[in-house]
Amino acid sequence: MTKKTTDIKQADNPSRRRFFKKLWGWIALAAGVELAGLSIPFISSGRKKQKKKETGTFTGIVPASDLPPGSVFPYQSGRLYVCHLNDGGFLAVSITCTHLGCSVEWNEKKKEFICPCHHSMFSINGEVENPPATRALDIYPLKIEGGMVKVNLSKPIERKHFNKSQETHA
């Protein structure tokens, strides 16, 4: 038997054909899974955007004129503080410590948020002043409408640090 005849016989081998058929099946399945993996986040991000629009209601918290610069207003039911910074900007800062989730308290004397659990400290704009926390306090979308500070309580925004673009001015 020549080598050519052996090759033809091997190609016609039914078990070999079954093997290749299965192999193509697995490749097609893997491609399908990959495609689904790419398209599901795309579809769900569209849904999230839609949901954000639906839940984007702002709640009136406090008249802006009631908060002099450098002051903090605790809004207990929303678990946040409305902060009026010295430069005139407003921020809605989450009460939840970014270390392990305890509730930070405003210390009027020190002008800092202090976490009672492991003593992380945050400035009035939520920036970390003292570890173990490594990330600024979350903020909520805020706007001032008709002289009233309004906050969207639907979802806090995570941030690494404070920057001026996060402020809202009256």
Q: Is 50 in contact with 144 (CB distance < 8 Å)?
A: no
The CB-of-103 to ligand FES minimum distance in angstroms stands at 9
The CB-of-156 to ligand FES minimum distance in angstroms stands at 16
The CB-of-83 to ligand FES minimum distance in angstroms stands at 18
Which is closer to ligand FES, CB of 89 or CB of 156? 156
Q: Which residues does residue 152 pair with via DSSP β-bridges, in sequence order?
A: 58
Cα distances (angstroms) measured from residue 154 to each of 11, 96, 114, 167:
63, 15, 25, 18
Which is closer to ligand FES, CB of 59 or CB of 96? 96
The CB-of-68 to ligand FES minimum distance in angstroms stands at 28
Which is closer to ligand FES, CB of 97 or CB of 151? 97
Question: 127 phi and psi, to 5 degrees?
Answer: -70, 145
Which is closer to ligand FES, CB of 105 or CB of 145? 105
| 111 vs 83: CA distance, rounded Å | 11
Which is closer to ligand FES, CB of 78 or CB of 132? 132
Interacting residues with ligand FES (CB under 6 A) = 97, 99-102, 115, 117-118, 120, 132-133
Q: Which two tokens stand for residue 97?
A: 């410590």
The CB-of-114 to ligand FES minimum distance in angstroms stands at 9
DSSP, res 101: -
Cα distances (angstroms) measured from residue 136 to each of 30, 40, 124:
41, 31, 11
